[in-house]
Amino acid sequence: MSGIERLHAAMEALSLLEADAVVEGHLERAVKEEQSYTEFLCELLEAEARARRNRQFEMRLKMAHLPYRKALDQFDFAFQPSIDERAIKELQTLRFVHEASNVVFLGPPRVGKTHLAVGLVLTALQAGQRAYFIAAKGLVMDLGEAKREGRLSKRLSVYLRPKVLVIDEMGYLPLDEIGATLLFQLISARYERGSIVLTSNKSYGDWGSIFGDPVLAAAILDRLLHHSTTINIRGESYRLKERKKAGLLPAEERAAKMA
Ligand code: ADP
Ligand code: MG
């Protein structure tokens, strides 16, 4: 076996997939740039480490089931002055994840609640945490089915594992008593163990009507809010801005063609 063949065989045996793929380019460069052994080895292993981190991130991303991929730096805070940007910066430190406290985004449709929840998840995934995103309706349906089939505790454990659980669109549909009880069970089980990021179009005062039962609603809120940050968004729907932009674009294009 030639030297390079031995190198590929060893890297394959060690599953150094990226290093195996890039080593020849690195060798050429090392000769051309007269790199030291240390520099050469460092760069090769750093490439391997980087590729691994990316692969693991992509895997966690897939497992998180996000509805779309939008980061916090794609959020236009100037458009939504009711949001205290410092509060979002604080959340970005992920201290809330380490403390297993919760985050609640409240506000009317299309003001950015889900975007901010997704952005926090991406931040957590990048830091190596696991997360899972699900709509309240789907969550309650899933848990209800598991309960009917006698496998609730096993199913609950799926929602206990990730460090960050997003429950999106709480309150868009009212819940029956079983649904509300299941949600209470889940929120209690995650209490002080893992963060919940929740979005809702209903203010806390209206939660009694989501759950049908004001006592249960109070119990859920009590657990949810004991360690939590609430971000209240009282702004315009982002769609208005998108529409305005859509209206402007053709005019701009026309102007560009005339110029
Ligand atoms: P909701 O509050 O109903 O959950 P979303 O967060 O899904 O709304 O926002 C609707 C769409 O508008 C998304 O594509 C989101 O990325 C975009 N959006 C909303 N607010 C902003 C903002 N301030 N900056 C950038 N994009 C925004
Ligand atoms: Mg939403």
Atom of ligand 1 nearest to the CA of 80: 23
- The mean pLDDT of 37-49, rounded to a whole number, is 97
User: Which residues, including other chains, have CB under 8 Å from residue 80's CB and lie 6 or more apart?
Assistant: 111, 112, 233, 235, 238
pLDDT of residue 245: 66
**pLDDT tens-digit series, residues 1-16:** 898 999 999 999 999 9
Atom of ligand 1 nearest to the CA of 168: 4
Nearest CA to 103 out of 181, 218, 199 is that of 199
User: Which residues, including other chains, have CB under 8 Å from residue 109's CB and lie 6 or more apart?
Assistant: 201, 237
**Domain residue spans of the chain:** 3-59, 72-242
**pLDDT tens-digit series, residues 200-250:** 999 999 988 888 888 999 999 999 999 999 999 998 888 766 666 666 555
Task: Give strand ranges (E) for the chain.
Answer: 102-106, 131-135, 164-170, 195-200, 228-232
Q: 257 falls in which pLDDT band (50, 70, 90)?
A: very low
Q: What is the pTM of this model?
A: 0.88
Residue 83 contacts residue 233 (beta carbons within 8 Å): yes
Q: 254 falls in which pLDDT band (50, 70, 90)?
A: very low
**pLDDT tens-digit series, residues 87-136:** 999 999 999 999 999 999 999 999 999 999 999 999 999 999 999 999 99
**pLDDT tens-digit series, residues 107-118:** 999 999 999 999
User: Which residues, including other chains, have CB under 8 Å from residue 160's CB and lie 6 or more apart?
Assistant: 186, 189, 190, 193, 194
72-242: CATH number: 3.40.50.300
Cα 19 from Cα 230, distance rounded (Å) = 45
Site to substitute for ligand 1 among 110, 113, 236, most atoms within 8 A of C-beta: 110
